[in-house]
Structure 1
Amino acid sequence: MLTELTGLTDGAPPAALQAALEERLAGADRAWLHEALAEAEAEAEAETETGSPRPADRPQWSLPIWETRFAEAGRHCHPAQAGQPGSPGPGAQDLADAARVLLLHAVRADHATTTRLYTHGTAAERRAVLLALPHLGGVPAGSALPLVEDALRTNDTRLVAAAVGRYAAAHLDQHAWRHAVLKCLFTGVPVGAVADLAGRAAGDAELARMLRDYAAERTAAGRPVPEDLDRVLALTAAPTQES
C-alpha cells in the first residue's frame, strides 16, 4: 500500500508531488487535474482579495466548485498504464489521494476547511485531509490533532496509516504517539508508515515496556506476534539523539 507516490503525498513539496502525479495520469485525467487546480487557486485568490473568512460549515448547495472536484477525484484519477497484478506501483486510490492533497494546497485550506472536509467526508476524503496536513500553512500548528486522534480511533488501516505521517510525528505528544505505534501493530499497518519512527522510538523505555507487554498478551492468547514489533523494539534500544 505504501507506494512511492503515497510517500510523496506525505513528504514531498507540492510541486514534486504534482510532477509525479502527472507522470502517472492518463491524458484526460491530467487535463482534469490542471482545471481543478486552477479553480482552487482562483478560489484562494478571490478569498484573499475579499478578505472574507471561510465559514466553518456551509450547505451542500453553496459549495465552491473546487470542493466538488475534491469529492470527484476518485472518478478522474486513473493510471496511464495499468499495472500488473501485484505491482507495487500506485493505484487509482493513491492517485486520488495525491490529487486531493494538491487541491487542498492550491486552495490554501485553513483549519475550518480541513475540519469540515474531514468531518463530512468519505473515508477516502478523510485520508486525503490527513495526508495534506504537513503541506497546509493555513492550519495552525497542532490544531488538526483532533482529526489525527479521530483517525487513530478507527480500524480503517488506510486512515491509520495516513494519521501517523509527518504531522503526527511533529505534533503528537509521546504518550499518544506510543499508542499510535501500538495501533499500527494491532491493525496490521506496516510501521514503515510511521514518520520519524527511529527518532521518536530511540531510548523510549516506556514504549519498549508496552511492546513487550503486547507481545506477551498475544503469546498467552495463542496469537502470532506482529513481525514489525521486534523491529520497533530494537529501535527503542538505540540511544536518543541527545545522548
Structure 2
Amino acid sequence: MDPHISTALNRQLTADAQRWLTEAVARVEKDPAAVRSLFPAVGRRCGRGPLAAGWTVADAARVRLLAALPLRGAALAEEVTALHRFGDAGEQRAVLCSLALLEDADASFGDLGLPLVRAALRGNDTDLIEAALGPYAARHLDYDGYRHAVLKCVFSGIPLDRVAGLEERADRELARMLADFAHERVAAGRDVPTDVWPVVRAHPGTLEASGLPAEAHSPVPDRRAAAVRALAVFISTAPAGAA
C-alpha cells in the first residue's frame, strides 16, 4: 500500500478501530480463513468515509487485511477471488485495489487476478471500473483490452487521469479510437471530454483522419457548433510551443 495511504489510515482510525484492525491482521496472519469473516466487518468496525487519493477508509483497511494473508500464488488468488465473488461492491473494490500490492509481495501471483479486472470492466459500476484500472491492470491487460478499458472510461465519464499507465500505454490505435469517439460526439452535437485530447495530440494525424475537423463546415448547425467548440478546446489545451 502507498505509504501515504497507510499513514492517512492510521490517522483516521479511532483507537477502537485501530485496535480491532491490529487484532484482525494478527488473526489473518495465523489463520488465513479468518479473513472471510473479518473482511465484510471492516466497514462497520473501521468506517467507510473518504481517505485520500480516491481511497476510502474501508478500502485501505481491507487491503491491509489482504496484505497479511500468509498465502502465495494460486492459493492467494483463490482466496481473494472468493472474497470478491461473495462480497458487496465495497468489498470487491478493495480486492481490486489490492491486486498490485499482492503481486508486489508475491511475484507468483502474477496475472492470476486478471479475471477480476476483466469482470469489473464488463460491468457498469464506475467505482469498480476505476478501481480495476490501477497499476495491476496497466501491467497485465493486453493492448486491445487496455484500449477498450480506456474507451469504456470515456463513455462512463471516468476521468482518464485515474487510469494507471495511460502515458506509457497509449498508442496510435488508442488515439484513433478516441478521435473517432470525439467525432461521434460532435456528429451528435455533443461536447467532447477534454481529457481525450492529450492522447489524440500525441499521435499527429489521428484527429484529421477521424473527419472531425470537417464538421466545422457541416450544414447542420448543432454539428458545426459542436465541432467548433471541440477544435477550440483542442487548440487551447495544447502545451505551450505545441504545433
Corresponding residue of 1:181: 150
Cα offset for 1:173? 0.6
Matches of 1:20 and 1:236, distance apart in 2 = 39
Matched, 1:27 2:15: yes
Corresponding residue of 1:118: 84
* Paired residues of 2:134 and 2:163 also in contact (CA < 8 A): yes
Large movers: runs of 4+ above 6 Å: none
Letter in 2 for 1:100: R
Match 1:101 to one of 40, 63, 68: 63
* Paired residues of 1:29 and 1:76 also in contact (CA < 8 A): yes
Task: Please report the TM-score for the alignment, with normalisation by the length of structure 2.
Answer: 0.74
Higher RCO (CA-CA < 8 Å; seq separation 6+): 1
Corresponding residue of 2:197: 230
3-state SS of paired residue (1:76)? helix
Matches of 1:89 and 1:75, distance apart in 2 = 16
Structure 2 gaps of 5+ residues are 205-243
Task: Please report the TM-score for the alignment, with normalisation by the length of structure 1.
Answer: 0.74
Pair 99,41 (structure 1): closer, same or farther in 2 beyond 3 Å: same
Corresponding residue of 1:57: none
Matches of 2:65 and 2:121, distance apart in 1 = 24
Letter in 1 for 2:87: G
Matches of 1:236 and 1:36, distance apart in 2 = 50
| Aligned residue pair count | 197
Matches of 1:91 and 1:27, distance apart in 2 = 23
Cα offset for 1:73? 0.9
Letter in 1 for 2:101: H
3-state SS of paired residue (2:46)? coil
* Structure with the bigger percentage of helix: 2
* Paired residues of 2:100 and 2:135 also in contact (CA < 8 A): yes
3-state SS of paired residue (2:169)? helix
Q: Higher Cα Rg: structure 1 or 2? A: 2
Deviations 1:151-174 (Å, cap 9, x if unpaired)? 011111110111110100110011
Match 1:194 to one of 158, 163, 176: 163
* Paired residues of 1:77 and 1:92 also in contact (CA < 8 A): no
Deviations 1:18-74 (Å, cap 9, x if unpaired)? 333111212221111111111111114xxxxxxxxxxxxxxxxxxx33222110111
Matches of 1:19 and 1:89, distance apart in 2 = 10
- Higher alpha-carbon deviation: 179-188 or 136-145: 136-145
* Paired residues of 2:97 and 2:132 also in contact (CA < 8 A): yes
Matched, 1:134 2:100: yes
Matched, 1:208 2:170: no
Deviations 1:167-217 (Å, cap 9, x if unpaired)? 00110011100111111111111112111211111xx11111100111111
